[in-house]
Structure 1
């Protein structure tokens, strides 16, 4: 299996990466929002209404 960052062979301790460096590069990309997980069209960010806790009135 090849590391998705540099293409080198992976190492069991850092799989799917080859090293801590490549794992950290990937984490940094997620934290900078360079990667996104697509949602459904029209879905707003946050808690869906069905999952929102009931408000006490």
Structure 2
């Protein structure tokens, strides 16, 4: 059972790593392609806080 737990932990860490990698790549692409990307993100965060 310990081996399955270790396998699950590794799988979960791998998923988090892939999610983070793709999030960073997406962020970098948006920064390059969109001139006002950070302002859009900031506006979105403010509107989310109000709800």
Whether TM exceeds 0.5 here: the answer is: no
Choose between structure 1 and 2: higher helix proportion. 2
